[in-house]
């Protein structure tokens, strides 16, 4: 995680690159009143993954408020967030940080911004591909697709074998009966 002095230096350096429309754009996509954040840092204090993030959740909110678009969209924190909602529950203003992070991820993907945690994006894609194919997740397929992208076949082999032995990994996927309904969710939205 970046130290406060590093973050403040970055903000001072980039103030002339402020995008004044950014906060409104993130609010429109997430439905979150971002300017209600008063930076008490309760969210960062409760987040179980904060040490793995470059910016803690309250700092990402601050970057959005300041219109520091590039820094917010390139943040690793928006990808490391698992959406557990611990932060929102502790927030005195009920700010839905996972919704903000979702909006930032969408914008980052649409704008082709370098993803802060590409392996996490690959994992998300593997899960979604499995759901699109079968209507539910197939863990073995997800692991294989993910490993294929990561070119890392052996690191979790022991865990995989243990799961297999305990029948936590099914060899063949099971498919939901209403697969057509599920696949419709993956169709591109009509713009009409």
- Least distance to ligand SF4 from the beta carbon of 52, Å? 9
Q: Is 32 in the site for ligand SF4 (CB under 6 A)?
A: no
Q: Is 95 in the site for ligand SF4 (CB under 6 A)?
A: yes
- Pick the closer one to ligand SF4 by CB: 11 or 85: 85
- Pick the closer one to ligand SF4 by CB: 97 or 131: 97
- If one counts every other C-beta atom within 10 angstroms of the C-beta of residue 119, the result is 13
- Per-residue exposure over 109-118, b if at least 16 CB sit within 10 Å of its own CB, e if not: eeeebebbbe
**Helix ranges, the chain (H):** 4-14, 22-30, 42-46, 57-65, 69-73, 77-80, 86-90, 97-110, 118-134, 139-150, 157-165, 179-185
Q: Is 153 in the site for ligand SF4 (CB under 6 A)?
A: no
Site string for ligand SF4, 62-81 (x = CB under 6 A): -------------------x
Note the residues at the interface with ligand SF4 (CB under 6 A).
37-43, 46-47, 49, 57-58, 61, 81-87, 91-93, 95, 97-98
């Amino acid at each position: 995680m970046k130290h406060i002095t590093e973050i403040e230096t970055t903000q001072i350096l980039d103030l002339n690159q402020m995008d004044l429309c950014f906060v409104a754009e993130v609010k429109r996509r997430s439905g979150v009143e971002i300017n209600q954040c008063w930076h008490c840092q309760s969210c960062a204090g409760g987040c179980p993954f904060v040490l793995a993030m470059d910016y803690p959740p309250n700092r990402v909110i601050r970057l959005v408020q300041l219109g520091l678009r590039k820094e917010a969209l390139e943040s690793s924190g928006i990808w490391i967030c698992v959406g557990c909602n611990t932060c929102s529950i502790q927030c005195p203003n009920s700010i839905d940080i996972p919704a903000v992070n979702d909006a930032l991820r969408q914008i980052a993907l649409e704008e082709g911004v370098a993803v802060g945690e590409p392996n996490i994006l690959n994992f998300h894609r593997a899960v979604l591909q499995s759901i699109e194919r079968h209507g539910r997740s197939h863990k073995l397929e997800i692991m294989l697709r993910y490993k294929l992208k990561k070119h890392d076949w052996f690191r979790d082999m022991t865990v995989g074998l243990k799961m297999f032995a305990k029948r936590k990994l099914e060899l063949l996927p099971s498919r939901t009966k209403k697969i057509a309904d599920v696949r419709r969710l993956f169709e591109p939205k009509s713009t009409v």
